[in-house]
Amino acid sequence: MIYDLKYTNEKPTSVLLFIFSFLIIFIFTCNTFSQSYKIDKIKFTHKDIQTIDDSELEDAVSVSKSKYYYPDAVAGDVISLRNYYFDNGYFEANVDKTLDFNMEDSTVSINFIITANHHYRIGAITRAGLDKVLDSLRKVIDTMKTIQINHFYKKTEMIDYSNGVLDFLQNSGYMSANIKTDSGFILLKQDTLVFLTLNYVNADTLFRFGKTEIVVDSNIYNVSTDFLRKGLAYSEGEVYSKRKRLDTDKNITQMPIIKNARIRTSSITGTSVNLMIECRLSRKHELTPFVEATNINNYFYAGGGLQYTNKYFWGNGRIFTSEIHSLIHSMDVNLLEFVNQVTQPYFINNKSSLNDKFSLGYYDLVGYHDYYLGNITSLRYYIADYTFYNKATIDLNEELLKIKYNFGDFQTINLYNSFLSVTLIHDNTNNAVAPSRGYYHSITAGEGGILPQLILNSFSNIFSYSKFFKFSTSNRYYINLSNTEGENIIASKFIVADNIAYGSGAKVVPIQPIYRYFSGGSNSLRGWYANSNGFVDERRFGGNFWLEGSMEFRKRLFPGSSSFTKNISSVIFTDFGNVWETHRDFRVDQIAIALGFGARYKIFFGPVRVDVGFKIYDPLDVAGKKWLYQNDFKTIFTDKLAINFGIGEAF
């Protein structure tokens, strides 16, 4: 009993001691993890080799985007990193973590410890389920090079490749082809190689387009289904193509009178796919006030106007617009213009359109006033995606002008001129307004003066005209440097244009300013103000030979922000170029150079921008002052600096 009593007396003490110790540890632990720890550092320790950059790994973990430490998030990031390595060909990678808490400033440093192990290469690629695909199509699939044997495995490349094969099949008649849902991708490891098997299903029936029914809901404007049928990118009996089906949807929804359209499979008869297109109409008439800001001949204008639109003008899909607008740069530089425009889509086929634009305006410019009556007729044709030149335009421009000069020996000129030109365009940029990737190239050749020569020389009248050839090319290239689209961009442009006067006669006058080129300003050399540069007698009248280029680095300053700061970006730029009276006057040492920086704030119709440019090399300055460093501080900030404003990117 003594032993039993002793045992009974000690047991409560031990239990209480254990409970007390547990509570102390529990309270300490709760206190440690209940307070908010800020993340101080995130490190990546590579125990063997480092083949993936740490900046790329930071993008793969959620803690890099968080201000505070959360245990579950860190545990999840360990799994995310392991999966990231797996998806990049490190199938045996190990990832661990260590945490270093600093109680004094309530911070924690997170260290991810990575052992990459073997990096697997692709040993072979097997495409199963394509036995019934036409031999000619299988040969094309064999040439696809998105992933290649003996290259390191990447999941993204495998998915791109499998989707590329699938798109090719679905655009070549195999409408139902797909990746097998439960075992679409099979990976087998052997030594340091991985063998891929892609399992396709339903690639056994070649389909063709059948009949297409078009239905217009509440057709109050009597929109013709025959007109809408011009938007079909395929013909009945043609091999089925998913791309042509999508192109059809795009063609019809781009018609202004169509509010929305839905294309669906109504039935399948044998191997014929019958489609139904259901359309809803938008309002036919619209009256819209608007404000605008733009750059014309390197001047920044702001203003507004009123526009009327008829989206189904006289049937057959024609669009009619009429607008009056006024723009102002200063009291000496402004304009008032009245414009009527008619567009006929699908003029020849669904790749062409015809546009006619009639303008009546008054332009107040430095040194002269211009009363303008003009008409431009344009035939636009979309060639194809797979050709280098994918768009073409033929323009006939006829203009009747009364130009009143208000200085020097110049006088009033009554001018009738025409300009016939052809433009070829290559454009694979990813965005028409703010591109971040791709290349744009255009080349234009034209002649001015043919129609006036035929018409005016037959009559005795007061009109003159100019005769000249025009050649120009414009090139822009964009490179996206970040994983996030548009965050860091290198943009460049290069332009060359030449007007070559020819012919003579009593009615022939020199090429007038409206056809010439200018240097300096918000869309040109930004170390100069608008049209203040050039090796010409009168810079405000421009020159006939123009060479210009730019390169700039564009950066969004707060890409992760959700406040107003998300729209702020900056640029660093260099511009070069000049204008000369003719191409025979061109000299390499007369190319001006500007360097500077700018800020952008994106609003609903594009970025508002301000650029500060310095004249790094001014060939028009006197010897000993052409280069910026040859000038004193005061001269640099009075004569060698320009501040330009604009809407939209400079190019």
How far is the C-alpha of 68 from the C-alpha of 331, rounded, in Å? 56
Share of the chain above pLDDT 70, in %: 93
How far is the C-alpha of 499 from the C-alpha of 515, rounded, in Å? 8
- Looking at the structure, do residues 183 and 134 belong to the same domain, yes or no? yes
pLDDT-derived band at 573 (thresholds 50, 70, 90) equals: very high
Digit-coded pLDDT (tens) for 139-188: 999 888 778 889 999 999 999 999 999 999 999 999 999 999 888 889 99
Residues linked to residue 216 through DSSP beta bridges, in sequence order? 279
pLDDT tops 90 at residue 368: no
438 domain-assigned: no
- Looking at the structure, do residues 212 and 271 belong to the same domain, yes or no? yes
How much is the pLDDT for 461?
66
Domain endpoint, select from 119, 141, 169 = 119
What average pLDDT does range 440-458 have in this prediction?
88
pLDDT-derived band at 7 (thresholds 50, 70, 90) equals: very low
How far is the C-alpha of 425 from the C-alpha of 367, rounded, in Å? 35
Domain carrying residue 4: 1-34
pLDDT-derived band at 18 (thresholds 50, 70, 90) equals: low
- Strands 641-647 and 438-448: what pairing? unpaired
48 domain-assigned: yes
DSSP string, 320-335: EEEEEEEEESSSSSEE
26 domain-assigned: yes
Digit-coded pLDDT (tens) for 494-546: 999 999 999 888 888 899 888 999 999 999 999 999 989 999 988 888 999 99
3-state SS, 408-463, equals CCCCCEEEEEEEEEEEEEEECCCCCCCCCCEEEEEEEEEEECHHHHHHHCCCCCCC
626 domain-assigned: no
Q: Among candidates 567, 577, 569, which has minimal Cα distance to 598? A: 569
What average pLDDT does range 17-22 have in this prediction?
56
What average pLDDT does range 392-397 have in this prediction?
96
pLDDT tops 60 at residue 25: no
- Looking at the structure, do residues 140 and 177 belong to the same domain, yes or no? yes
pLDDT-derived band at 459 (thresholds 50, 70, 90) equals: low
pTM: 0.76
Domain endpoint, select from 281, 296, 325 = 281
What average pLDDT does range 196-221 have in this prediction?
95
Name the residue with higher pLDDT: 640 or 366: 640
How much is the pLDDT for 20?
58
598 domain-assigned: no
pLDDT tops 60 at residue 433: yes
Share of the chain above pLDDT 90, in %: 68
- Looking at the structure, do residues 97 and 46 belong to the same domain, yes or no? yes
- Looking at the structure, do residues 114 and 140 belong to the same domain, yes or no? no
Residues linked to residue 363 through DSSP beta bridges, in sequence order? 335, 370
What average pLDDT does range 381-407 have in this prediction?
90
User: What are the structure tokens assigned to 331, written together?
Assistant: 């009291």
- Looking at the structure, do residues 180 and 130 belong to the same domain, yes or no? yes
How far is the C-alpha of 379 from the C-alpha of 152, rounded, in Å? 49
How much is the pLDDT for 32?
46
Lowest mean pLDDT among 33-47, 506-520, 575-589: 33-47
Digit-coded pLDDT (tens) for 544-569: 999 999 999 999 998 877 788 888 99
441 domain-assigned: no
Task: Supply the Cα-derived Rg of the chain in whole angstroms.
Answer: 34
pLDDT-derived band at 23 (thresholds 50, 70, 90) equals: low
How much is the pLDDT for 294?
86
113 domain-assigned: yes
Q: Work out the mean pLDDT of the chain and round it to a whole number.
A: 89
For the chain, how many structural domains are there in total?
Answer: 4
Lowest mean pLDDT among 340-354, 451-465, 469-483, 590-604: 451-465
pLDDT-derived band at 577 (thresholds 50, 70, 90) equals: very high
How much is the pLDDT for 241?
97
pLDDT tops 50 at residue 8: no
User: What are the structure tokens assigned to 310, written together?
Assistant: 């008829």
| Residue 438, φ and ψ in degrees, nearest 5 | 115, 180
Contacts of 60 (CB under 8 A, 6+ apart): 77, 80, 81, 84
- Looking at the structure, do residues 114 and 61 belong to the same domain, yes or no? yes
- Looking at the structure, do residues 51 and 114 belong to the same domain, yes or no? yes
Q: Which of 254-268, 442-456, 560-574 has the highest mean pLDDT?
A: 254-268
What average pLDDT does range 235-257 have in this prediction?
94
- Looking at the structure, do residues 20 and 93 belong to the same domain, yes or no? no
How much is the pLDDT for 27?
45
The CATH number covering residue 193 comes to 3.10.20.310
- Looking at the structure, do residues 84 and 104 belong to the same domain, yes or no? yes
How far is the C-alpha of 320 from the C-alpha of 341, rounded, in Å? 6
67 domain-assigned: yes
Domain endpoint, select from 281, 303, 324 = 281
- Looking at the structure, do residues 139 and 100 belong to the same domain, yes or no? no
Contact 515, 448 (CB under 8 A): yes
- Looking at the structure, do residues 225 and 184 belong to the same domain, yes or no? no
Amino acid identity at 456: L
pLDDT tops 70 at residue 13: no
pLDDT tops 50 at residue 31: no
